[in-house]
Every structure is written in C-alpha cells, then in structure tokens.
Amino acid sequence: MHSGEELRKQRRRRVLKGASILTGISNSEVKCTVRNVHSKGADLQVSIEARVPDEFLLYIPIDGIGYKSVVKWRRADKLGVMFMGTEPKPHWHYG
C-alpha cells in the first residue's frame, strides 16, 4: 500500500507562511497558514469555523503574489488547493 505522499506527482516543500484567503465578497478575508506548497497548489490550515468558498484568491504577503485557487479537498481545518494562475495583490488589501 502506498501512502498519499508517495503518490503525489509534485515535490512539495514544507513551509509555514501566513496568508489570506480573499473571497471577493465585500472584500472579506480569512487568515490561514500555508503548510506546504508546490508548483501546482498548496495545503492550507484554516480556522475550523472558517467559511471558505470553493474558489478564491490566496494572497501570500511574503511572496507578494496572489494565487487563483480552487479547493480540491477539505478535512476539518485543512484545505488542499490547486493553483489556476496568479494575479497582483488586490488594491484594497492592506498587506
């Protein structure tokens, strides 16, 4: 039996970066932590009661990049997202 780690095609880097899930709904934002990242996506940790839509912009201030993201899986306080492209930081975001 293979573990999930062995089946992943993309090499993942373990990171611990603060980020924001920007939903575009009245400029709302959900704080999260990027747990690991690869060229096609990332695993995020969010508050257990956070309401996160299926699509959003993941803004990572330390990178200065916004990733258009689609949720691929959800488990309790964790999300797996796939990146669909990048865009500049929204003008209304203060970070």
Whether 86 and 67 have beta carbons less than 8 Å apart is answered as yes
Determine the pLDDT at residue 11.
Answer: 63
In a domain? residue 92: no
Residue range 6-23: mean pLDDT, rounded: 73
In a domain? residue 3: no
Per-residue pLDDT of 23-46, as tens digits, reads 877 768 899 999 999 889 999 999
The answer to whether the pTM exceeds 0.75 is yes
The secondary structure of 16-55 as a DSSP string is EEEEEEE--STT-EEEEEEEEEETTEEEEEE-TT----SE
In a domain? residue 94: no
What is the domain range of residue 51?
9-87
In a domain? residue 15: yes
Instruction: Give the CATH number, domain containing residue 26.
Output: 2.40.10.220
In the chain, the number of structural domains is 1
In a domain? residue 52: yes
In a domain? residue 4: no
In a domain? residue 1: no
Residue in 82, 40, 44 with CA at minimum distance from that of residue 60: 44
Tell me the C-alpha distance between 55 and 34, whole Å: 16
- Confidence category of residue 52, pLDDT binned at 50, 70, 90: very high
